Structures are given as C-alpha cells and as structure tokens.
Structure 1
Amino acid sequence: MKKLVLVTGGSGFIASHIILQLLQQGYAVRATVRSMAKADYIKEIMLSSGIQNNQDLSFIETNLTSEKNWPAAMEGVSYVMHVASPTPKLNFKHEEEMINPAVNGVLMILRAAQNANVKRVVLTSAYGAVFAGHHNRQMPYTEKDWSNLQDTHIHPYQKSKTLSEKAAWDFIQNEGHNLELSVVNPVAVMGPGLGSVYSHSNIQIQQMMDGDIRAVPNVNSGYVDVRDVASLHILAMTSEKANGERFLATTGETLSMLDLAHILRDAFPSYANKLPKKTIPNGVVKFAAIFRPNLRMVASLVGKYADTSNAKSIDLLGWHPRSAKESVITTAQSMIDLGILKK
C-alpha cells in the first residue's frame, strides 16, 4: 500500500508542484479542491508533466470555511500538506477579513488531522510570519525570527500569516498529542507554471514583461523556485529531524524589483523596451498608498532590509535550491510558453 498524502488547495501553484513530486516519488495523493471542476485541470497538468496515469491521484471537495468533508478527506491519510490559504485581499475594510479565515482554517485542519491519527502535518506558512515589523535590521532573518505584531504598521496579510502559524504551534503544544508539525516559510515564489495558475508573486514578472510597469518601487525580497519549495515540503514531511521545526524556503539571495528587470532584460532582449528602468521614490509610493488601498502592502515594504538565511534547510535537511536568477528566468519563459503574456 502506498502512503497517502492529503494536499489541500490542490489546484494552487505550490500545491500542484507538490502533487507532481509526490506522485513521481511513489506516493498516493488526495487533493482537496473547492470545486470538483478543478479535478480535470489537475489531472491534465499532471499528465502533461509526465505522470503516465492518475490512478494514484484522487480528489475531494472541501472548503476552509466549512468543516464539511474534512473527516472524509483525512481518512487513511499518513501525511497532510496544508498548502491552501485564503488569497490576500488588497481591498479590505477590516483586518479580520484576512486574519480570521487564516487562523480558523489552520486550526480546523489540525483538529481533523489529529482526529484521523495523521502522523504529520506540513504547514505552508510564509516569510510574512518572519520579517514584518522589524526596524534597523542588519542580520539575515532566520527561522528564529517572528514578525513583530506590536508594530502598528504591519500589514494585515503578514499579521494573518503570523497569527495562523502561531495558532498552529500553540495547538500542537497544548492539544496536539501525537500529531507532528513542520512548517515551511517561503519567500517570494517564482518558477514554472504547470498550467494557467501561478503564484501572486509572479504577477510582477507578468506586468514587467507586458510593459505595464514603467518604474518599480524600491522593494527588496528573497526569491525561491516553486520546485524547490515543493521539495522542501517533502523533506519536511519525511525527515525525523524536521518534526517541530520551521524552515525558510529561500535561496539566501536578495534582489530588488529593478534587479528582476535587469535579469529579464539580459535574458529576453526582445522584451527590453517593455521592462522598467527606474525606481519610484519611497515617499511617492507611501503617499500614493494613502489614497490607493491596493498599494498599502507594497508601501509597507519599500526600503526594508530583506536578507534571509537558508542555512537551517541546507544543514538539517540537505536541501539545495536553484539560484534566484534561474528561477526568475524560468518564470518568464514559462509565461511565454503558456501564452500568458500579451502579444
């Protein structure tokens, strides 16, 4: 009998790569989808990615806002990859609109996994639970760092990621019994799409290549390939050393948005005239965000220190990610190949 892994949010960018690698490594996978209409899409991208048949792939319709079907989803499952997450809202009235679904969804999954005697849950958290709300930072962020919720300027998205991950660790400590937990905290995720769905982090690449952005904010970030994020999840699932640990999924490199444009210009010279060549002053971005709520997350990041360390993932799990440059180039090439970019 193959070990069965439940992957939540199965049609998502990271989740689809996790499913692919699990099937390639001989696991059976049950994917949750909000609508069974997504099942055919996932089957199709698995076949196009080299999976000869989908006999080890099954689906169940669930939603993070309802307990319906979660007991059935967990039946016979050895491991849970909890990748599903509420999509960040850029236009929201109250921060609870982002925070409550994230926290309640994580706790619902953990309780269902515990009731089904699942061995380990691997939670996809985020870099947003690590770096936000820190000032005058000079040392790379590590897994020991947590976002500072006392900072009144922290964006609700980062707050939701921090509070949902903290809720998960509190549950394991106080109610978890034999349930194990590992957490993966990716920085901005790049890499090839398996289909038309890709990460919201990739939108900046699409907008640059389409010529929609003539100048970029002064935002620095770590970047990591989705294929390496998937492999880190599986290492976190299988390694005994990973139990009770969180892992930053990062190459350890820091790039500005203008650096991304330079990488793309060198790799795709035919798009050179569409790519941005200058940076927007920090004050302009922050002022614009007063009137445009969809800019507030970006405004909270301008000029911020963003260096990260991947030493723990490498030393403890033997993880070796691709370079950020390779991942950025692969992202753009994938968008060209999939016909996502404007003609």
Structure 2
Amino acid sequence: MGDQQLTEALKGEPANSIITSTIEKGSTVLVTGANGFIASHVVNQLLLAGYAVRGTVRSPARAQWMHDLFDPQYGADRFETVVVPDMVADGAFDAAVKGVSGIVHLASVLTFSNEYEAVVPPTVKGALNVLMSASKEAGVRSIVYTSSSTAALLPQPDKEIVVTTETWNDAAVHAARHEANPDAFTVYAASKTEAERAVWRAVAETRPPFQVCAVLPNANFGRILQPGGEKGASTGSWVVSLFTGEVQGVDPVEIPPQYFVNVADDARLHVAALIDPACNGKRIFAFAQPFNWNDILAILRKLRPDKEFREDVDCGRDLSEVPNQEAEELLRKHYGHGWTSLEESIRENVATLA
C-alpha cells in the first residue's frame, strides 16, 4: 500500500475534522511491537496512567513475560496481546485496532540488514498500515509514531550541528540508496527517516480525524523490564556490555557518543504525546543530554568500586544542539519533573546485574 492508496481511503474526511481531544482514562491503547525495550515501558506507563493496553507481538511466546509482569500488578483484564506476524501485510492491524482510542506505533524492522529494500520499504509500509487501519476505526483519537533520533541526524563527535524540528537525515537516505555497501545503522536511519516522512505526508494529504505526533528518541538507558532480557534490550544492552565486559554484537565504544534519554522518560513522553492536544502535529525530541563512554565508565566505577572496568577510551563529544526543550516541558507538565539523570539511568540499567 502506498501513500496514494492511503490518501484515497481518507480523502472524504473534511479539512476541519482533526480531533485534538485527549483520550479518556480507562480506554484502550494499542501498542505495536509491545515486547521491545522501549515499548514495554510505554505499556507500563500507559497502565500506570489508567489506560488498558493491547499489545501486538509476532508470536504468543514473545508476550508471556509481559503477562507475568503486568497481570499481577494491574489485573489480568488491563493488558492483552494480539499476534500480528507481519506488519507489512495489507490490513495487518485491522483487527488489532478494533475498539481502541489511541495507538502507539513502535514496531519497526530491527534486523540491521544493510540492504535498503529489506529494511526501508517494510518500515514505511508498516507505518502506513497503522494509519490505514486507524482510519477504519471510528474511535481512534490519537496516534503516536515512534521515530528515532536518526531520522534527524547520525551522531558526529566533536562537530557542532544545529538540529531543528525541520531537520531530516537526507544524508542517510542517500547513502542507503546509492552506496554499494552502506553501513547497517545508516540503513536503519534511512528507514526511520523515510517512515516518519511518509507518516507526515499522509497526514497532510488526508487530514485524518485523529491527532498525530512523532517522538524521536535517542539512546535509551535505564531499567530493563524483561527478566533476563539484558542481551536483547536494544541500546540498554550497550551499558550491560560495559558492565559485564562481554561484547554483544558491536562493542559499544565503537558507537559514536550521542544524546541519551532514560527509557521511562521516553515512555512518559509517548503517553504525553498521546493524550496532550498541544502535541498534535509535533516532532518531540527525546534527547536528555549528551554522554560519552567515559562518562558511563566513571558512573559504573562509582556504583561498583569493587569491580574492575575497562580503561577510558578516546571517543570525543556530541556537540549538536537539539530542540529538546519541548520534551522536557512535557515531562514537567504531565509528571512534575524534568529529565532523569545519566547516573540514575545507568544505576537502573545495571540494577539486576551481579
């Protein structure tokens, strides 16, 4: 399904049909890719905020730990899961959206293949499928699309870069399309860039009867909710690798320094973006502050003076200027506090490690 098909499906909506009212407490929110590191925190924050949650997973086995975690805490009737084996299939989310008031779309292609066709088109199609399914469900009032910091830029240490809400990572898209052997992270960045742009293009063309917001998170650190899930916790695994000394895939110190955000703060921003009318049409930058690996190593040494960690590395600094003030204001508005510190985030990240 392309942009034109989505436009045709929604073009009957009047231009003034955007609804910016918040969704009611107790109503159901759909969270796609619910068992992921960030998504599981989004589920938790939604449950804490008084919503029921329906999460999509690719198989029932992927969701069992979430039921074990959330059902005793919130009740078995508050969290349910549905299987969506292929988000690219036409109508993939039609059944999942039935009866929901809000949608948070976090599912994405995370194979880290460096092949453009294997990553970018499926990511775009999945995002548009969510919009298409939402257009068929009259009760949907708000959608949050989880984009990425990489939709705006890739980190470049010691280089002063000014990012605005209109900044797009065209360099990653060009490299992913035209380089003979692009870096897999660059292809991922291209997928998030193209998918978010497709979402905004579709919204502009169709003016759907629900509010839409994008959240752009940077590296997420913090508590890993899945028991024993430290090795599959996305960017949270970077800190685990530094703590244990066991490299899981890429050595984290080979990843450029960038901004971080506490994963629970990121999830809170998703909730705020979903329920706050002022977020309609916004790109919310979930960038708390810059870090480098020596910062994290210093915190680990402070937290565990009995443990030996690797030596400091030559890694530079992220000097980019980003529009993250609105995100912190949302945290203060809805939760009464600003960003969680890097030290607290690292403390939470390694809390379950011996």
- Are positions 1:145 and 2:174 aligned together? no
Partner Cα distance (1:275, 1:70) in 2: 46
Q: How far apart are residue 234 of structure 1 and its match?
A: 0.6
TM-score normalised over the length of structure 1? 0.81
Partner Cα distance (1:74, 1:61) in 2: 12
Of stretches 325-334 and 239-248 in structure 1, the one that deviates more from structure 2 is 325-334
- Are positions 1:322 and 2:322 aligned together? no
Q: How far apart are residue 275 of structure 1 and its match?
A: 2.6
What does residue 40 of structure 2 align with? 16
What does residue 67 of structure 1 align with? 90
Question: Measured at CA, do residues 12 and 177 of structure 1 come closer, stay the same or move farther in structure 2, by a change above 3 Å?
Answer: same
Question: Measured at CA, do residues 208 and 132 of structure 1 come closer, stay the same or move farther in structure 2, by a change above 3 Å?
Answer: closer
Partner Cα distance (1:101, 1:6) in 2: 20
Q: How far apart are residue 139 of structure 1 and its match?
A: 5.0
Cα deviation per residue 1:129-177 (whole Å; 9 max; x = unaligned)?
1123989953553433222337755711111111000000001111243
Question: Measured at CA, do residues 269 and 178 of structure 1 come closer, stay the same or move farther in structure 2, by a change above 3 Å?
Answer: same
Match for 1:230 among 247, 256, 267?
Answer: 267
Partner Cα distance (1:235, 1:264) in 2: 31
Q: How far apart are residue 22 of structure 1 and its match?
A: 1.3
Question: Measured at CA, do residues 144 and 323 of structure 1 come closer, stay the same or move farther in structure 2, by a change above 3 Å?
Answer: farther
Q: Which amino acid aligns with 1:323?
A: S
Question: Measured at CA, do residues 37 and 28 of structure 1 come closer, stay the same or move farther in structure 2, by a change above 3 Å?
Answer: same
What does residue 258 of structure 2 align with? 221
Question: Measured at CA, do residues 247 and 66 of structure 1 come closer, stay the same or move farther in structure 2, by a change above 3 Å?
Answer: same
Cα deviation per residue 1:233-269 (whole Å; 9 max; x = unaligned)?
0100111100111101121x21112221122122112
TM alignment of 1:262-341, pairs within 5 A: 262-271=298-307, 273-279=308-314, 305-315=319-329, 318=332, 320-334=338-352, 336=353
Q: How far apart are residue 84 of structure 1 and its match?
A: 1.1
Point out where structure 2 has 5 or more consecutive residues left out of the alignment.
1-24, 177-185
Match for 1:158 among 189, 203, 206?
Answer: 189
Match for 2:154 among 132, 137, 149?
Answer: 132
Partner Cα distance (1:205, 1:231) in 2: 21
Partner Cα distance (2:220, 2:172) in 1: 27
What does residue 188 of structure 1 align with? 219
RMSD of aligned Cα (Å): 2.7
Question: Measured at CA, do residues 314 and 215 of structure 1 come closer, stay the same or move farther in structure 2, by a change above 3 Å?
Answer: closer
- Whether contact under 8 Å (2:269, 2:330) holds in the other structure is no
Cα deviation per residue 1:164-214 (whole Å; 9 max; x = unaligned)?
000000011112432321010001001101113353112221221122469
Q: How far apart are residue 215 of structure 1 and its match?
A: 9.1
What does residue 65 of structure 2 align with? 41
What does residue 78 of structure 1 align with? 101
Partner Cα distance (2:71, 2:41) in 1: 13
Match for 2:277 among 240, 244, 247?
Answer: 240
Q: Which amino acid aligns with 2:26?
A: K
- Whether contact under 8 Å (2:284, 2:327) holds in the other structure is yes
TM alignment of 1:253-268, pairs within 5 A: 253-268=289-304
Cα deviation per residue 1:299-335 (whole Å; 9 max; x = unaligned)?
xxx876444342112346635221122112211223x
Of stretches 255-264 and 72-81 in structure 1, the one that deviates more from structure 2 is 255-264
What does residue 289 of structure 1 align with? none
Q: Which amino acid aligns with 2:266?
A: V
Question: Measured at CA, do residues 102 and 276 of structure 1 come closer, stay the same or move farther in structure 2, by a change above 3 Å?
Answer: farther
Q: How far apart are residue 2 of structure 1 and its match?
A: 2.5
- Whether contact under 8 Å (1:221, 1:256) holds in the other structure is yes
Match for 2:51 among 19, 27, 31?
Answer: 27
Q: How far apart are residue 8 of structure 1 and its match?
A: 0.6
- Are positions 1:123 and 2:145 aligned together? yes
State how many pairs are aligned.
Answer: 309
TM-score normalised over the length of structure 2? 0.79
Question: Measured at CA, do residues 78 and 153 of structure 1 come closer, stay the same or move farther in structure 2, by a change above 3 Å?
Answer: same
